[in-house]
Structure 1
């Protein structure tokens, strides 16, 4: 990631709608919602739903899924989308010619619907500090989502339609674990730059090189520290994974060109790998043996996950990379780049990419496969999330068209839900989509 001064950072994001065109006073939150349990009767649910939220019933009746009142504006949604596509400027680090890039990109069949809109809530709102980092939303089940909102990590229950603060980092943080040799220390006000939630463990990184680890079923922060104190010490990515022996590990990628590995049970520091450029993202293969390393380079690296030794270099991207994901079969790696593409690599033949998927406007900031590998979600910095069907060789695609900066995307582990975090001053929200199923057996009833 480019070097920048991170003093006095604020949680701000450019308003994509501009000039307060859509600004409106939000109704007060309905506190009675805390006691509302999911109902089988849609009418009862609709009557208790906050006015700021949008349900599937309302969307089917014509309401915009984000609640944007297009009927009161001087332009239509289609006209604004057309203007957005023309005026949006994608951030670039490397000015390289791209005239041949479109020729490489796969021609896809858009218009598929793999996931239907289910609910949009503004009771919890994703926020991002830096425009390049977007791993700020994680689903641990189809009913449980964790996201960053200002100086808090929030838990959203899609079953109860209720948000709850899990961690507040605006105040000083003291670790609850104290062991000899453990490099844990108290932290003051932290601005979270990235996070990951897996197997009851939440890990967050900060703009001053902080690392915070918290068990979701235990009070307080188990472990926290500053892993680096450089001027540009931002923690760009964190990951929780199992190594080749099955032991759970935490991997931390930093702007100081270091990748650090911690034991997820004892939080002991196990290893440090050094690279020639700032590391923006890492991901470990499903078998725990290979490590993808991406950062301030047009090349992506494959390294041994145990030793950090580089074994391959992936060439094809034209700019810096910020996202990666492994297919559950371990044979395909997806990498997202500021050249507005995602490249798919066959790990058995890395001489060239298997396919190139193109975004509409901006860099590819988020990539997630479903647990079974059927779908790949690809998020741009703003407005678009693309869901590809891997069984069609990525040719069939659902395009989710919204307005706002995308703070994170996450499938539920059972693949039944897809969550998208939107960062915007007025329409910041979290959107839930549910897997569409075709029950052909019902045809025989009639």
Structure 2
């Protein structure tokens, strides 16, 4: 991809790409007058959703007072929330969007849910520097949640929502004259990195910034360049432990078709591997032997993690890939592309994906496995889905309004944090795992409208079918 412009000739950070909720409401109000496809817009006491936005966090206890999980008071604005969701689906600009009828046909909901709403904090709002890159949120623990706001990386805490610290101020970077615009973040939990909390940021012009959030020097930031190539935008970073030494390593994907490995303690790049297309995301297998890559191609590459050699090429997506993740048990891989599809692969048999799911309203930009084996899939806007595992027989759809800047799993998925970058209703959303998980017991309470219940994904499957069980 061009690091500055896309096929539609718009800059990758053009404000017109923002799917701002207030602008949508204004558009719905005007277009519903003539467009019979749209539900009617009822006028309320409040003329605009921009008025009266909450300045304090919204908790699950506040939902009883008439606000939704983003602090929106629908009875004051006028239209019903369900009608707003329907109108938004119709007006959504994504080429991967589905018709409202198709969406409704897929939602054979039951009571119960895997995550329940915990809090929303409008004070912590992330910013996306490239509309296709949605990984500017990370967490090393529930007390250390990091998000990018352009040239700065902020820290907050789920336990102390008023906390806001600047841990990286890159507005005047040491390594270049241009401002450091953060395109991606990676924050590693301590239990995976020899009890070290590692925070790494990638930049628009090939820069990186790195700090140990637990170091004695108050988290001093080290800066440098991943590449000096004109198209060297850093698209993705993930950290992992060296399979021999256990020391933290970082894998940098960049738009110059390279993947580079850094030894974090020494800040030394140890390897670099070249490929035919730009790499947009990578994930290393739990044993450190293999790596999955997706990028500006319809192909998914399975490579030797130490030599970079391509071992297997998978060809099932129909557009560029932007998300991938290897499951903690090492058996399954999830990949997502701009064709609107999410594929699940079995590492014991690469012949076909064992599952294929369609996105809800737009393409998925993030896929992450939890420690318990559930899969969290975040789309461009509005939707995060949680599947019950590689079989994906059930899912929970978490529904809100706004562009998703990133998703972070805390304590392996015990808590789920979503960075909402919407200018009007954005902020930090958090959800906690319910005691029953994906079970049915104890799930007879009142459903919160914003968190949709179970859906059967048998109707969501594409042409691929599950492969036969393989005995290792």
Q: TM-score range by the shorter chain?
A: 0.7 to 0.9
Partner of residue 393, structure 2:
395
Identify if the C-alpha distance between structure 1 residues 59 and 171 changes in structure 2 by more than 3 Å, giving closer, same or farther. same
1:16 to 21, 38, 51: 21
2-structure distance, mates of 1:88, 1:5? 21
Contact 2:21 2:425 in 1 (8 A): no
Alignment of 1:23-422 (within 5 A): 23-24=50-51, 26=53, 51-91=55-95, 112-174=112-174, 185=175, 188-198=178-188, 199=190, 200-217=197-214, 218-219=217-218, 221-245=220-244, 246-373=246-373, 375-390=374-389, 393-422=391-420
The structural deviation recorded for 1:427 is 1.2
SS of aligned partner of 1:81? helix
Determine helix, strand or coil for the equivalent of 2:61: helix
What's the CA shift for 1:53? 2.3
Aligned-pair CA distance for 1:69: 2.4
Correspondence for 1:39: none
Give per-residue Cα distances to partners, 1:176-198, cap 9 Å, x unaligned.
xxxxxxxxx46652000001011
CA offset at residue 164 of structure 1?
2.0
Aligned residue pairs, count: 398
Superposed CA offset, 1:83-124 (max 9, x none)? 1111212257xxxxx9xxx9xxx9986764111101000111
Structure 1 residue runs without a partner (length 5+)? 28-50, 93-97, 175-184
Does the aligned pair in 1 maintain the 2:114–2:436 contact within 8 Å? no
Distance in 2, matches of 1:423 and 1:16, equals 10
SS in 1 for 2:428: strand
Determine the C-alpha separation between the residues in 2 that align with 1:2 and 1:91.
19
After the TM superposition, which of the residue ranges 321-330 and 238-247 deviates more from structure 2? Answer: 238-247
Deviation at 1:155, TM superposition (A): 1.3
What does the per-residue CA deviation read over 1:235-254, in whole Å, with 9 as the maximum and x for residues that have no partner? 00011111331332111000
Deviations 1:120-139 (A, max 9, x none): 00111121121101111112
C-alpha spacing 1:384/1:252, structure 2 compared with 1 (3 Å)? same
Q: State the TM-score, normalizing by the size of structure 2.
A: 0.78
- 1:221 and 1:109 map into 2 onto residues whose CA distance is 49
Structure 2 vs 1, CA of residues 60 and 433 (structure 1 numbering), >3 Å: closer, same or farther?
farther
What SS does structure 2 have at the residue aligned with 1:160? coil
CA pair 73-222 structure 1, distance change in 2 beyond 3 A: closer
1:177-226: CA deviation from partner (whole Å, max 9, x where unpaired): xxxxxxxx466520000010113110000000001111112435442112
1:86 match: secondary structure? helix
CA drift at 1:414:
4.4
Secondary structure of the residue aligned to 1:59 is helix
Structure 2 vs 1, CA of residues 243 and 168 (structure 1 numbering), >3 Å: closer, same or farther? closer
Query: 2:356, 2:346 → 1: CA distance?
Result: 12
Aligned to 2:462: none
Unpaired stretches in structure 2, ≥5 consecutive residues: 27-47, 191-196, 443-472
Q: CA RMSD in A?
A: 2.9
- Contact persistence 1:154–1:163 (CA under 8 A): no
Alpha-carbon separation, structure 2, partners of 1:57 and 1:358? 34
Cα distance change, pair 60–173 in 1 and its aligned pair in 2 (3 A)? same
Change (3 A) 1:262 1:414: closer
SS at match of 1:58: helix
CA distance in 2 between counterparts of 1:163 and 1:5 reads 36
Between the aligned partners of 1:367 and 1:235, the Cα distance in structure 2 is 19
- The alignment's TM-score, normalised by the length of structure 1, stands at 0.82
Name the CA distance, whole Å, in 2 between partners of 1:18 and 1:138: 28
CA contact (8 A) 1:169 1:191 kept: no
Q: Distance in 2 between matches of 1:192 and 1:235?
A: 9
Distance 1:151 1:69, change over 3 A: farther
Q: Within 2, Cα distance between the matches of 1:8 and 1:226?
A: 23
Looking at structure 1, the residues matched to 291 and 377 of structure 2 have their Cα atoms a distance apart, in angstroms, of 20
